[in-house]
Structure 1
């Protein structure tokens, strides 16, 4: 049984996240478990997540889930915008709520960190090559 879609394709927060995520080398989008997922060979970000509270799921419809190094994840742990997403938290994922005041430069940095953990050395080298200054 397919999961129902849990997002609005016209959502401006999704539109901005999509723009950032799809700017990475070979990045693509698919729907996974009802949410947009951004990936190369492995997923590096999801739009939307949930937390299990008293046996029920509390949705975070406007959030991004990223896979971070343990130190980066720990640095965000006390941030009130952040949460440990159901199912994915034990694997190192963290959710960050998005709103109209979101610092998109920070989100771009988190996407970059997650991409680097999942994309493989060739893609990371391509990412690094495009950000080097021209000589």
Structure 2
């Protein structure tokens, strides 16, 4: 199942910006014909200057787009709840290449080579007897 995140910014710095308060303030928009992933799916982040932003998860792209449009419509009507908020569809980060980065061919002298690991040295030698095991 694919899901879409919406980036919501513009939360006032002096207000309580917990995940529960954000979901509570936006609940009337989130439950009206959108495919919001539900309570507990909100990710809250804070910047160094104290302002907050959040990511809301939606089960479909159409539901996320409907939420963004609805929030833009409400922005002038209800100033105390969603007056300064801006919403947009989140752009996912580009995936980095997994594994180690390849070394350029010109810097072959600086490559640290690892030698193979030696077998462990026993602390106590194992005594082998020629007698058959006792039953």
TM band (smaller chain): under 0.3
TM-score, reference length from structure 2: 0.26
Task: Tell me which protein shows more helix as a share of its residues.
Answer: 1
Q: Could you state the TM-score of these two structures normalised by the residue count of structure 1?
A: 0.26
Q: Which has the larger radius of gyration?
A: 2
Flag the structure with more relative contact order, 1 or 2, with Cα contacts below 8 A and sequence separation at least 6: 2
